[in-house]
Every structure is written in structure tokens, then in C-alpha cells.
Amino acid sequence: MINIKTKYVSHFLTFLTILIVQIYFPVISIGKIKIQPDIILLYITVISILYGRFLGIVMGFIGGVWQDFSTQAELLGVFSLSKPIAAYFIGSIFSYRTIWNKKIQYSVIWLSYILHFFIFFYLSSRSIFDLYYLSIFILLHSAIVFTLFLLFNNLVYKNKLL
């Protein structure tokens, strides 16, 4: 049986590993669009579903600040704003797990990802007039992280997260 201290240490070490992997994960460039899966957002999703809003928001802020300092020195605060907002909405699944069916839970995750990437793109580009790239960026990145979530849920948790 795993005690509480071991569980927190294992989550802390997992979170540090994910933060380091996110920095060194390769970026794929297709035209103007740079694609990099947001592994921190995936981990925050799992934490928010398992433990609720508060821990998800705290981990989202810490991961967002880390990601801001490591990748976005000119726009500090974009990830540290968007990740806790996404964690808040994803953490609702923890509170309403018995009421919401799986389609609603998956929809909440998908819409939270879209909101996260919309906030990031809007604040980083400071323009909503580039609607074509906005929609491609948001939908592509949301689909990548959502697909990773489905794979992670299926392979690691054996479909027991939702």
C-alpha cells in the first residue's frame, strides 16, 4: 500500500520530469505554425481529473510559469494564465463525475483545450484578425493534446480516468 508521502513524492518527481521533457521536446514547423505537444497540459488534465480543481490550478500555475520562463521570455504570464483556467474547467469533472456522462466529460476537456490555446494565441499574437491561422493553431494543438490524453487514458489508466 502506498502512503501519502510516497504518493506526493512520486507526483512531484513526475511533474519535474514532465517539465524538463516539455522544454526539450522537438518543435515541428509547418509554414508559420509551430507544433509542439503540450505535455504539461496533459499532466494537468490528469491531476485535475484525479484530485480536483485546487491541485489542478496550482499545478497549472507552476507549470505555466515554468513554461513561460523556459520558452516565452518576451511574454511572461501567458501560460501561467491559460493553464490554471483550463485546469479549473477540467477540475469540474472531478466534482460532477457522477452526474455527467462520458460525452460531456470529453467535451469539457476538449473545450478547455480550445480555450487554453485560444488564450495563448490571442495574447501572444495580440490580434484576432488572423482567423485562418488562429483556427488552425487552436484546433491542431487541441487535437494533438486531446489525442495524447485519449492514448494516455487508454494505455496507462485503462480507461478509468473518466
Q: Which fold would CATH assign to domain 4-155?
A: Arp2/3 complex 21 kDa subunit ARPC3 (1.10.1760)
Between 61 and 9, the higher pLDDT residue: 61
What is the β-pairing status of strands 33-35 and 28-30? antiparallel
Work out the percent of the chain whose per-residue pLDDT is above 90. 44
* Residue 146 pLDDT class (50, 70, 90 cuts): very high
Distance of alpha carbon 142 from alpha carbon 87, whole angstroms: 14
Work out the percent of the chain whose per-residue pLDDT is above 70. 94
One-letter amino acid for residue 88 of the chain: Y
pLDDT of 134 reads 77
Assess whether pLDDT exceeds 90 at residue 114: yes
Q: 13-27, 38-52, 85-99, 122-136: lowest mean pLDDT where?
A: 122-136
Phi-psi group of 77: left, alpha or beta (phi > 0 → left; psi -120 to 50 → alpha; rest → beta): left
Distance of alpha carbon 153 from alpha carbon 162, whole angstroms: 8
SS (H, E, C) 11-46: HHHHHHHHHHHHHHCCCEEECCEEECCCHHHHHHHH
Distance of alpha carbon 150 from alpha carbon 144, whole angstroms: 10
Assess whether pLDDT exceeds 90 at residue 3: no
